[in-house]
Structure 1
Amino acid sequence: MATVTPFKGIRYNPDIIGNSADVATPPYDVISPEEQAAFYNRHPNNVIRLILNPGKATDTATDNPHTRSAACFHEWMQQGILKKEAQPALYLKAIGYPHKGETFTRYGLIAQVGLEPFEKRIILPHEKTFSKVRSERLELMKATHCNYCPIFSLYPDESGILDTLIEAVGQSAPCIDFIDDDNHRHRLWQILDPAVHRQVTESMQDKRLFIADGHHRYETALEFRDYLKASDASFDADHPANHVLMYLSSMSDPGLIILPAHRLIKAVGPEDLQQAIGKTRTYFDVAEFPFTPENRPAVERKFLEALGSDKERQCIGIYGHKTPVFHLLKLKAGVMEELFGKELDAALRSLDVTVLTRLVFMKILGFDQQRLDDATLIGYSSEAGKALQSIDSGAYDVAFILNPTRIEQVQEVARKGLVMPRKSTYFYPKVKSGLVLRTLGN
């Protein structure tokens, strides 16, 4: 039984913050160091100071990004820059955005959701997480006692819960309405009607929730609850830490898009890459796309078109630093069943990211779990062009270009209680931080 209820949200005071675009950001985990600095300089009250406060060489146990985040939060609350709502509310969020020449709108509900351990099969993950990231986020939560960013989850909406909310707001003006740097329009409506609250809560009770984005934040929320249970004598069933801030969208929303999560790898030299490509020929049909500086754009387009054209086989593109050729790997029939049939469910074997992780990274390149868990040696990009540019610049050594995971694959993996490799999906667009916050204090 999913517990989805209204809460007293914390929002920027519109009398002080006139344009939410000045203070909102994407989630912390997709913000580059350059973007972090830009958001920090954009506005003195930008939410970056809360979700990703910059580190300093002089950081100590009592003065560090987490303690500075907490100090900013309390200061902004005292100054009225952030204000807690007087009444519990649900929030309807709409994001309109262009994609491949079309315009889409995705709707979502922002609410507090009761925490449930994964084994209860009420809230389901689909990806593994980085232990280092979880520990870092836990320290932030211990310092701040606040949910800064909603977890992005999906649910089956046969009963039309979002339609009910859209009808409830009608033609009323949103309380937040702005366009961000990516030309995405964000609108937020506050819903105070207790009758609508009851209808939503009752309708969500029989739903399973699938975490789309925010696995680290959800697991951290579970750990924080356990931490309070063990350390706070006043902790009880009514404590706010039993819930977490969540954005809920329908699995069938036409505005729901999954982009690929291309892998960017460090510490793989040209010789290592060439040896690995040689080994791949045992398991893949390998095509080469050599290029010169003059014909690079045309060859790159041809390479990427070929990657996305074969819907029947798992395909992986490879590009190495200072290597003037793109390689396209197409998996041979029966390989994953032969190698991993006894240890991996068919739902996992069919995923391109599983082929990449288990066959290419672990079996061919020899990566162990420690290497796969080292977030300093692996990066991600949802845009193939940017991924390839990061190799040209030398920021990374090798790019592995993937096709996107399909929503039905996510559902199947989650329903079976399985988990995909880390960053198997990139649900687009991301849910903004800084629109609604939630305190975890009584």
Structure 2
Amino acid sequence: MYSSSEYNICHIELPKGKNDLKYQNAQQLINDWINKEVLIQEDKLTYYLYQQTFQLDDQLIKRKTIIGLLKIHAFEDQVIFPHENTMEGPKKDRYSLLDATQANISPIFCMFHDDNNSCSQLLQEYSETNSSLMAIDITGVQHDLWKINDIKSIKKISNSIDNKKIIILDGHHRYTTALNYKNNNHDKKYDYILTALVPDSDPGLKILPIHRMLNSKINIDIAVKILKDNFEIKQLDVNNTTIHNQYNIFVADDNDHGFLLTDGKKYYSCKMNQEKFDQLITQSFDINLNTYIVDHIAIAKILNETNQKYLPEDNVNFVTDFDEISSMFDKTNESLCFIVKPLPIETIINFTEQNMVMPHKTTYLYPKIGSGFVLNKFI
């Protein structure tokens, strides 16, 4: 991406340079781009309709979000809700970049409940007109941007979002960074963060599963034998030879608390025993997550009974693409894949209502919100 254009946003968002020099480079670049009018300041109060058009499972899908500034709140205010844990390393990097550039380089991605679909209807009307900007990225995703700067529409959008619970879907590190920066620098210009907001009813809101690839010499038959204590296990017909076909059969079946286990040749549907689930739900709400079941009930038990440690950074790969899974099986016959269903939007909402956050590698938002279309420069 660096070589694609001298004005690619990655030069600022992922600046080159050793140690603090990279942040100085980002600062110099953003100021240079403003002076050259590569970046242009809006002279009107503006929201943006941002639509992404993409292919998923042979379907053409459109996701509409509204880009604007979201007021930053402490999590204890019960206005903004995280849905997953964060790590310190990325937050330190984002803090230094924020401090140097004095800008939100890319929007965080959040969800809200759109009463009566009033905001969605407005966005649909705008999307039927010609966009102000259109670009297609290297993955084939089409990005369209519309300016919304008439007062009536701005008020309608603001009213649909005001006093709503906002759930962070992607950008937890950037949000907590902005919150910390606001608390350390008492100036009103730091009270807001650039945000892409999607109505929770938007048909283009897709949360994809993150599967687990266990690198181990454990035979699948041994794994199945170990898992039988806690799971109802059913072998699937191997005539449906592709992983995608087997996955579709698995998803269509009643497997709310379980996973599909495969070594690339055999396939097993594994559903947690109801008695075991009822026992564990009293101990941890996380048991509602199939990824938690895989990590802490299935993989942990398999490795424990074969005297191995669960080291995600060493013996577990996190994958989202079936082609990647097939490729990994082609390279080695010493792997087991634990395939899970997509996480329903309602599950994320339920977790936030319980003031709980999900473990890492639980959700995968596709596609990612694009960077470089809209920035928020603190002035």
The one-letter code of the counterpart of 1:194 is I
Which piece of structure 1 moves more, 211-220 or 245-254? Answer: 211-220
Pairing of 1:356-395 with structure 2 (within 5 A):
356-362=294-300, 364-365=302-303, 379-393=317-331
1:327/1:52 CA distance change after superposition, 3 Å: farther
1:170/1:300 CA distance change after superposition, 3 Å: closer
The one-letter code of the counterpart of 2:195 is M
2:155 corresponds in structure 1 to: 198
The one-letter code of the counterpart of 1:281 is K
Q: What's the CA shift for 1:214? A: 1.9
CA distance in 2, matches of 1:128, 1:290: 38
1:170/1:402 CA distance change after superposition, 3 Å: closer
Pairing of 1:163-242 with structure 2 (within 5 A):
163-167=121-125, 169=126, 172-226=129-183, 228-229=184-185, 235-236=186-187, 238-239=188-189, 241-242=190-191
2:3 corresponds in structure 1 to: 41
1:361/1:75 CA distance change after superposition, 3 Å: farther
Deviations, residues 299-324 of structure 1 (Å, cap 9, x unaligned): 5355324432322442323456xx86
Q: What's the CA shift for 1:185? A: 2.5
SS of aligned partner of 1:245: strand
1:15 corresponds in structure 2 to: none
Matched, 1:285 2:232: yes
1:307–1:315: 8 Å Cα contact kept in structure 2? no
SS of aligned partner of 2:21: coil
1:175/1:125 CA distance change after superposition, 3 Å: same
CA distance in 1, matches of 2:267, 2:127: 51
CA distance in 1, matches of 2:148, 2:26: 29
1:88 corresponds in structure 2 to: 45
1:384–1:401: 8 Å Cα contact kept in structure 2? no
SS of aligned partner of 2:352: helix
1:429 corresponds in structure 2 to: 367
Which piece of structure 1 moves more, 253-262 or 243-252? Answer: 253-262
Q: What's the CA shift for 1:404? A: 0.5
Q: Report percent identity of matched pairs.
A: 24
Matched, 1:73 2:30: yes
2:376 corresponds in structure 1 to: 438
1:377/1:269 CA distance change after superposition, 3 Å: closer
CA distance in 2, matches of 1:163, 1:324: 47
SS of aligned partner of 2:371: coil
1:289–1:299: 8 Å Cα contact kept in structure 2? no
1:418/1:171 CA distance change after superposition, 3 Å: closer
Work out which of the residue numbers 257, 261, 270 in structure 2 matches 1:314: 257
SS of aligned partner of 2:2: helix
Q: What's the CA shift for 1:433? A: 1.1
Q: What's the CA shift for 1:274? A: 8.0
CA distance in 2, matches of 1:434, 1:398: 39
2:115–2:160: 8 Å Cα contact kept in structure 1? no
Pairing of 1:22-171 with structure 2 (within 5 A):
39-53=1-15, 60-64=18-22, 66-159=23-116, 160-167=118-125, 169=126
Deviations, residues 70-125 of structure 1 (Å, cap 9, x unaligned): 33322322322222222231111122233333323221110100111222221112
The one-letter code of the counterpart of 2:210 is A
2:52–2:142: 8 Å Cα contact kept in structure 1? yes
Deviations, residues 153-209 of structure 1 (Å, cap 9, x unaligned): 111112412323444x48653211123334333211112223332332233212111
Unaligned runs of 5+ in 1: 1-38, 230-234
Q: What's the CA shift for 1:287? A: 5.0
1:144/1:274 CA distance change after superposition, 3 Å: farther
SS of aligned partner of 1:298: coil
How many residues are paired up?
375
Q: How much is the aligned-residue C-alpha RMSD, in angstroms?
A: 3.3
CA distance in 1, matches of 2:267, 2:87: 30
2:283 corresponds in structure 1 to: 343
1:146–1:437: 8 Å Cα contact kept in structure 2? yes
Unaligned runs of 5+ in 2: none
Deviations, residues 210-258 of structure 1 (Å, cap 9, x unaligned): 22222222222222323x33xxxxx23x12x221111111111122222
1:178–1:187: 8 Å Cα contact kept in structure 2? yes
1:153–1:249: 8 Å Cα contact kept in structure 2? yes
Matched, 1:415 2:356: no
Work out which of the residue numbers 269, 280, 289 in structure 1 matches 2:216: 269
SS of aligned partner of 1:334: helix
Q: What's the CA shift for 1:387? A: 3.1
Deviations, residues 329-372 of structure 1 (Å, cap 9, x unaligned): 3322222332x333313xx32221221233235555469xx956
1:303–1:328: 8 Å Cα contact kept in structure 2? no
